[in-house]
């Protein structure tokens, strides 16, 4: 008997109720939940709070274990569920204080925001009531009740994953300590000046850095991170004359997906799109007037500080403005652990002081008391300008918000809280005596543009504006190849429609190959394997398709030459220079995604002093190694993709909970992103476009969506993987919006009544 059949026979399908009637505590009036054939709920409620309660109810029905994981990671109680292996996650979560920050933020909110969060939590609890998911049955645990602050804890976790500058700071510090300032200047991948932007279209840390990286890496492995593409086209560039908005967030390829498709409506507003599980509202969506999408802006909102170890002696004298908290962590199958947490005026100490090394504290905007707006207010927006301004108080990691409205306006704006630094750049850990942040950069000063003459806006985690324009908001951007490819394509035609935009989302053309082609093909052909590699690449069109052999050779060549270049200048810290993480749980960091542009510039300039035998010798050696490793196989065979569930890491559960492996194209720099680091070019991609949407502004029923997996987190539900094949093939499905379209698509109706 297969593992799936055995679990199914033992535990049953555990399907949610989607037809008939249910009594739900907390509702003020009846709510109707109509589901289409893909399990997407279309909710009609009579108030905002009832709509958010119903969203929480649907999340609770379909994503119970995902919600359990989010809550436990934020609270630092994962070890209570799965044992001591999760203790590092709990320790760092307690130190950072996601749950502490969430409670303080909730207390500072106004009654409307608190009411929405309370309603969502009540819905989550009602949706999970009486039916444990398979994972919790296997772990012999009941669901943990949600509270209003837990959505803020989940937002903090997501912000932690997106605002990953801390790992850049630690990586730079390692290179600086082990190989010196000259090495850091040589290997740190500064942003290549020839790539596109969006507008216009010190002190040694000793072992502290290593310990902190170990701890934070354990948490980041659970939370994940990511990038994304989004763009908006004005009507002058579309076949219909209506604007189009596209968004394809790139997140860890997990099951279930981070996103949950939904349509919410009240007598005052209606919104459809993708919600983030664990939070109320629709993050990527549209109402009847405006459509929008978001990407990670990459703005730097986290700083690390090196504290004096003596100051934070847990048993000695401390300054009056330093607090010490005792956090008790339950461990399944083991003894309770006490974590003593130190909180400084700068932020929590996230690495304790040991062996004479300084402690490391962290300040992050998303842990501070910031007004909650944006996603909760988006459904009421009546124009692009109105939507943009409703995100003026957004407490999470800064985002690139792109949108278009039915009157034809389009625009882009960086939204979120970005600190104004009184001194320093935040690129390396600072001494505790460094100047404090000087408040936040005013919303009006953050980058953005409205109705550009080019007729489009586009972002892809790239550098937002040219040097010297606007305030300093960071330096750790992704290479600009994706936004360059998108911008060139959008500028090349004026007959875009939904299908052609969807095709661009799946584009795997490598502009990096265009940058490197001349230098690579000039390599000497003395070695037969090098000659065969050059023959393959000379006839290659630069498409990183899954069935392409030269695509695999190129990807492996880039990783090999990047390793050789880093080793030449930073031999004692080469792996950190290439983005190595500090733990097997998170093997690499964002630094790994910024190597290609740096390497392309080196190939163009061929600076002296890097290699004893010169650049040609190293290029040839890298080509030889790439040919050996690819062994004549297509790229999608060399580097397949698997969508992984948290329980899918062990046999036989991998056969029940995971999807794949499948051949998959693209790389870190193609529009259809599938990121691999130089240190692991054939591993499972770290990020992929787990969601794709195209909003046809004004003809909303013609919009299309694609989700990696399905709506349900239940592996025995038809909706666990029914969207997977659509996504894998590059297809998409409608997200009905008009009443006629919703009525025609409905296959099940559930009526919720106040208890």
Alpha-carbon gap, residue 419 to 74, rounded angstroms: 24
Alpha-carbon gap, residue 423 to 97, rounded angstroms: 26
Distances, alpha carbon 261 to alpha carbons 75, 365, 552, 565, 690, in Å:
26, 28, 34, 44, 12
Is 677:579 a contact under the CB 8 Å cutoff? Answer: yes
Other Cβ atoms less than 10 A from the Cβ of 19: the count is 11
Where does residue 444 rank: exposed (0-12), middle (13-18), buried (19+ CB within 10 A)?
A: exposed
Give the strand pairing for 244-251 and 259-265. unpaired
Inside any domain, residue 686: yes
Distances, alpha carbon 26 to alpha carbons 154, 528, 535, in Å:
22, 73, 68
Give the largest Cα separation in the chain, rounded: 80
Is 137:128 a contact under the CB 8 Å cutoff? Answer: no
What are the backbone dihedrals phi and psi of residue 460, each rounded to the nearest 5 degrees, phi first?
-155, 50
The pLDDT score that the predictor gives to residue 359 is: 78
Give the total number of structural domains in the chain: 1
Q: 412-443 burial by CB neighbour count: b if 16+ within 10 A, else e?
A: bbbbbbbbebeeeebbbbbebebeebeebbeb
Predicted model pTM? 0.93
356 versus 735: the higher-pLDDT residue is 735
On the question of pLDDT at 247 being above 90, the answer is yes
The pLDDT score that the predictor gives to residue 618 is: 95
Inside any domain, residue 554: yes
Where does residue 142 rank: exposed (0-12), middle (13-18), buried (19+ CB within 10 A)?
A: exposed
196 versus 661: the higher-pLDDT residue is 661
The pLDDT score that the predictor gives to residue 428 is: 77
The pLDDT score that the predictor gives to residue 15 is: 85
370 versus 706: the higher-pLDDT residue is 706
Is 222:91 a contact under the CB 8 Å cutoff? Answer: no
Alpha-carbon gap, residue 389 to 398, rounded angstroms: 14
Inside any domain, residue 72: no
The pLDDT score that the predictor gives to residue 196 is: 59
Share above pLDDT 90 across residues of the chain, in percent, rounded to a whole number? 63
* Mean pLDDT confidence for 716-731: 94
Inside any domain, residue 235: yes
On the question of pLDDT at 436 being above 60, the answer is yes
The pLDDT score that the predictor gives to residue 429 is: 80
Across 120-225, the runs of DSSP E, i.e. the strands, are none
User: Which residues constitute the domain of residue 525?
Assistant: 164-729
The pLDDT score that the predictor gives to residue 412 is: 98
The pLDDT score that the predictor gives to residue 161 is: 78
Alpha-carbon gap, residue 231 to 505, rounded angstroms: 10
Q: Residue 463: which region, alpha, beta or left (left: phi > 0; alpha: psi -120 to 50)?
A: beta
Is 211:351 a contact under the CB 8 Å cutoff? Answer: yes
CA angle 610-615-618, nearest 5°? 95
The pLDDT score that the predictor gives to residue 134 is: 86
Query: pLDDT category, 222, cuts 50, 70, 90?
Result: very low
Share above pLDDT 70 across residues of the chain, in percent, rounded to a whole number? 88
Mean of per-residue pLDDT scores for the chain: 88
Query: pLDDT category, 396, cuts 50, 70, 90?
Result: confident
Inside any domain, residue 183: yes
At 677-695, the pLDDT tens digits run 888 899 999 889 999 999 9
Peptide bond into 501 cis (omega under 30): no
Alpha-carbon gap, residue 720 to 657, rounded angstroms: 9
Residue among 481, 381, 464 at smallest CA distance from 415: 464
What is the SS3 assignment for 605?
Answer: helix
* Mean pLDDT confidence for 528-547: 97
Inside any domain, residue 81: no
The pLDDT score that the predictor gives to residue 305 is: 85
Candidate from 249-263, 501-515, 641-655 with smallest mean pLDDT: 641-655
Inside any domain, residue 714: yes
* Mean pLDDT confidence for 650-664: 88
What secondary structure letter does DSSP report for 138?
H
Is 191:475 a contact under the CB 8 Å cutoff? Answer: yes
435 versus 177: the higher-pLDDT residue is 435
Alpha-carbon gap, residue 115 to 48, rounded angstroms: 9
Q: Please list, in sequence order, all residues whose beta carbon lies within 8 angstroms of the beta carbon of residue 522, skipping any fewer than 6 positions away.
A: 616
Query: pLDDT category, 259, cuts 50, 70, 90?
Result: very high
**What CATH number is attached to the domain comprising 451?**
3.60.20.10
Is 643:658 a contact under the CB 8 Å cutoff? Answer: yes
Query: pLDDT category, 120, cuts 50, 70, 90?
Result: very high
The pLDDT score that the predictor gives to residue 583 is: 41
Query: pLDDT category, 60, cuts 50, 70, 90?
Result: very high
At 457-473, the pLDDT tens digits run 999 998 898 878 889 89
The pLDDT score that the predictor gives to residue 370 is: 79
The pLDDT score that the predictor gives to residue 193 is: 55
Inside any domain, residue 231: yes
The pLDDT score that the predictor gives to residue 460 is: 94
* Mean pLDDT confidence for 281-306: 93
The pLDDT score that the predictor gives to residue 12 is: 64
The pLDDT score that the predictor gives to residue 203 is: 38
What is the SS3 assignment for 12?
Answer: coil
Residue among 352, 267, 277, 266 at smallest CA distance from 62: 277
Most confident segment among 576-590, 659-673, 675-689: 659-673
The pLDDT score that the predictor gives to residue 174 is: 76
Alpha-carbon gap, residue 655 to 558, rounded angstroms: 33
């Amino acid at each position: 008997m297969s593992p799936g059949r055995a679990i199914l026979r033992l535990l049953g399908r555990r399907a949610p109720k989607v037809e008939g009637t249910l009594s739900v505590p907390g509702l003020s009036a009846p709510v109707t939940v109509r589901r289409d054939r893909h399990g997407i709920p279309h909710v009609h409620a009579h108030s905002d709070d009832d709509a958010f309660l119903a969203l929480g109810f649907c999340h609770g029905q379909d994503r119970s274990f995902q919600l359990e994981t989010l809550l436990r990671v934020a609270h630092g109680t994962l070890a209570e569920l799965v044992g001591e292996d999760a203790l590092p996650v709990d320790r760092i979560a307690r130190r950072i204080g996601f749950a502490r920050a969430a409670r303080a933020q909730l207390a500072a909110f106004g009654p409307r925001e608190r009411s929405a969060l309370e309603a969502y939590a009540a819905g989550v609890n009602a949706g999970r009531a009486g039916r444990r998911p398979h994972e919790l049955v296997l772990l012999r645990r009941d669901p943990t009740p949600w509270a209003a602050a837990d959505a803020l804890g989940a937002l903090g976790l997501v912000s932690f994953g997106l605002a990953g500058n801390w790992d850049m700071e630690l990586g730079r510090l390692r290179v600086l300590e082990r190989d010196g300032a000259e090495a850091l200047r040589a290997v740190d991948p500064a942003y290549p000046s020839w790539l596109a932007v969006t507008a216009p279209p010190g002190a040694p840390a000793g072992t502290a850095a290593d310990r902190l990286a170990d701890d934070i890496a354990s948490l980041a492995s659970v939370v994940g991170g990511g990038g994304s593409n989004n763009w908006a086209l004005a009507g002058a560039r579309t076949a219909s004359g209506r604007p189009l908005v596209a968004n394809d967030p790139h997140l860890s390829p997990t099951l279930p997906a981070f996103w949950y498709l939904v349509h919410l409506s009240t007598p005052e507003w209606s919104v459809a799109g993708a919600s983030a599980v664990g939070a109320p509202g629709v993050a990527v969506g549209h109402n009847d007037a405006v459509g929008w999408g978001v990407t990670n802006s990459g703005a730097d909102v986290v700083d690390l500080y090196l504290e004096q170890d003596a100051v934070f002696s847990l048993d000695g004298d401390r300054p009056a403005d330093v607090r010490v908290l005792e956090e008790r962590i339950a461990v399944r199958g083991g003894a309770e652990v006490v974590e003593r947490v130190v909180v400084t005026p700068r932020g929590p100490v996230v690495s304790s002081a040991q062996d004479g090394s300084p402690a490391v504290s962290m300040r992050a905007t998303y842990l501070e008391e910031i007004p909650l707006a944006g996603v909760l207010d988006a459904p009421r927006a009546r124009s692009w300008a109105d939507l943009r301004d409703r995100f003026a108080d957004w407490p999470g990691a800064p985002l690139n918000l792109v949108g278009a409205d039915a009157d034809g306006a389009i625009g882009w704006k960086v939204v979120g809280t970005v600190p104004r630094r009184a001194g320093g750049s935040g690129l390396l850990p600072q001494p505790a005596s460094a100047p404090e942040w000087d408040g936040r950069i005013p919303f009006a000063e953050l980058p953005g543009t409205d109705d550009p003459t080019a007729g489009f806006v586009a972002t892809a985690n790239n550098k937002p504006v040219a040097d010297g324009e606007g305030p300093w908001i960071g330096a750790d951007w992704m290479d600009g190849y994706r936004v360059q490819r998108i911008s060139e394509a959008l500028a090349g035609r004026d007959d875009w429609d939904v299908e052609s935009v969807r095709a661009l989302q799946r584009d795997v053309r490598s502009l990096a190959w265009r940058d490197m082609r001349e230098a690579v093909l000039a390599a000497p052909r003395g070695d037969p394997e090098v000659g065969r590699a050059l023959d393959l690449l000379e006839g290659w069109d630069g498409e990183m398709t899954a069935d392409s052999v030269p695509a695999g050779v190129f990807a492996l060549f880039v990783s090999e030459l990047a390793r050789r270049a880093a080793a030449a200048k930073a031999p004692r810290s080469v792996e950190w220079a290439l983005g190595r993480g500090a733990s097997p749980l998170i093997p690499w960091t964002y630094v790994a995604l910024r190597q290609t542009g740096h390497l392309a510039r080196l190939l163009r300039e061929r600076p002296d002093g890097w290699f004893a035998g010169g650049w040609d010798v190293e290029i040839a050696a890298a080509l030889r190694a790439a040919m050996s490793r690819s062994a004549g196989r297509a790229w999608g065979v060399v580097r397949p993709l698997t969508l992984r569930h948290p329980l899918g890491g062990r046999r036989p559960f991998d056969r029940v909970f995971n999807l794949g492996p499948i051949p998959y194209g693209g790389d870190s720099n193609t529009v259809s992103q599938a990121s691999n680091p130089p240190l692991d070019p054939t591993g499972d991609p770290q990020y992929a476009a787990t969601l794709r949407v195209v909003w046809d502004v004004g003809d909303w029923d013609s919009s299309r969506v694609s989700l990696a997996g399905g709506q349900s987190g239940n592996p025995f539900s038809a909706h666990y993987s029914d969207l997977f094949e659509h996504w894998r093939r590059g297809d998409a499905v409608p997200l009905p919006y008009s009443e006629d379209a919703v009525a025609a698509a409905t296959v099940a109706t559930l009526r919720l009544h106040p208890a």
